[in-house]
Amino acid sequence: MNQAANRAPLLLTMGDPCGIGPEIVAKAFAQGQLQDTVVVADPQVMRRAQAAIGKTGPVVVLPSLADARGVPPGCLSVWPAPGLPPGLAELPWGQVHAQAGAGAAACIEAATRAVLRGEASGLITAPLHKEALAAAGVKYPGHTEMLQALAAEFVGRPLPVRMMLANDELRVVLVTIHVALRKAIDMLSRPLIEETLHITDAALRRFGIAQPRIAVAGLNPHAGEGGLFGDEEVQLIAPAIAAVRAAGLDVHGPYAPDTVFMRARHAANHPGEFDAVVAMTHDHGLIPVKYLGVEQGVNVTLGLPLVRTSPDHGTAFDLAGTGRADPSSLVAALHMARRLVVGHAG
């Protein structure tokens, strides 16, 4: 904590106030995991979450992030985002509400801008609900797209970003994310795949891996069997791999997607062959990581000029308000953010 005391705080957004986000944040606080962290949230939402888990504690409402250093130990630091709608703590648990979507978006925007300005060292985001965002009129379908737009506005140029899901055993980076499967396949191109491989290599080096080994999963069964089951491997993926290898990247594939994740998995008595796997579509890549344990999975956005992590699960409306939500993935996201902030600063 001495190193943490010398840097700006991490920011943790509350997520959708009708989901489990505020509860897992409250549980992480109760476990002593938020000493260097300011929660960007409606204070009443956080007090309701504390009541839901049966573990109340002192909440300090910050007029500004500059006041975070003066908060006594053992207090939950909460910075209310500008533009929060009123009455969020009165909304029923486990339901889609436009008001909740607007509140979640306000926290994301305020927190992201603060990190970009250097007022905070990194960002962890609790789960939001895409339907609530849409109901609120937010033009972005999720966190990744919103963060990308805010960062691009800040730096004054487009920023290609990618989603990585990681745990202690496996890292997977996605070429495409939250779009229909048919559209995702149509989106694939050699430049897009090459760009993903360069972003992945750069991120792994920032994580402290001097010579990243990257595997590429094919799109079709058996990686297309030389074009018998689809030609994306022959026409797009293999040429992209060849191009980045010529540029010096240690990239291999395309491999059959039903085996490559097992080859890359780092487990007891089984050192993985690769440091990350690049997959073409969202569920294609995330199923193996989530199968290893949602509670330990962390979502990391690659390509941003800031550190951003999040838990590997959604708002879990069926659990919201019960106090039973598991904070393990959020805690893992906090630990990951702390590690990455050190590398990002370096």
Quickly state the pLDDT bin for 267 (edges 50, 70, 90).
confident
Residue 117 pLDDT > 60? yes
Write out the chain in H/E/C secondary structure. Answer: CHHHHCCCCEEEECCCCCCCHHHHHHHHHHCCCCCCEEEECCHHHHHHHHHHHCCCCCEEECCCHHHHHHCCCCCEEEECCCCCCCCHHHCCCCCCCHHHHHHHHHHHHHHHHHHHCCCCCEEEECCCCHHHHHHCCCCCCCHHHHHHHHHHHHHCCCCCCEEEEECCCCEEEECCCCCCHHHHHHHCCHHHHHHHHHHHHHHHHHCCCCCCEEEEECCCHHHHHHHCCCCHHHHHHHHHHHHHHHCCCEEEEEECCCCHHHHHCCECCECCCCCEEEECCHHHHHHHHHHCCHHHCEEEEECCCCCEEEECCCCCCCCCCCCCCCCHHHHHHHHHHHHHHHHHHC
Residue 20 pLDDT > 80? yes
Chosen CATH of 1-160+312-346 out of 1.20.120.530, 3.40.50.10490, 1.10.10.60, 3.40.718.10: 3.40.718.10
Residue spans of the domains in the chain: they are 1-160+312-346, 168-292
What pLDDT is attached to residue 297?
83
Lowest mean pLDDT among 201-205, 226-230, 237-241: 226-230
Residue 163 pLDDT > 50? yes
% the chain with pLDDT above 70: 97
Quickly state the pLDDT bin for 75 (edges 50, 70, 90).
very high
Q: What is the overall mean pLDDT for the chain?
A: 92
- Of 346 and 176, the one with more pLDDT: 176
Quickly state the pLDDT bin for 2 (edges 50, 70, 90).
very low
State which of 156-165, 177-186, 192-201, 269-278 shows the largest mean pLDDT: 192-201
Quickly state the pLDDT bin for 214 (edges 50, 70, 90).
very high
Residue 234 is given by DSSP the state I
What would the mean pLDDT of 153-179 be, rounded to a whole number?
Answer: 92
Residue 345 pLDDT > 60? no
Residue 341 pLDDT > 50? yes
Lowest mean pLDDT among 120-124, 131-135, 336-340: 336-340
What pLDDT is attached to residue 343?
62
What pLDDT is attached to residue 7?
77
Residue 5 pLDDT > 70? no
What pLDDT is attached to residue 344?
56
Residue 178 pLDDT > 60? yes
The predicted-structure confidence for 287-339, as pLDDT tens digits, reads as follows: 898 888 767 789 999 999 999 999 988 999 999 999 999 999 999 999 999 98
Quickly state the pLDDT bin for 141 (edges 50, 70, 90).
confident
What pLDDT is attached to residue 146?
94
d(CA 29, CA 25): 6
Residue 346 pLDDT > 70? no
Residue 194 pLDDT > 60? yes
What pLDDT is attached to residue 123?
97
What pLDDT is attached to residue 304?
93
Asked if 159 and 47 touch (Cβ cutoff 8 Å), the reply is no
CATH number of 168-292: 3.40.718.10
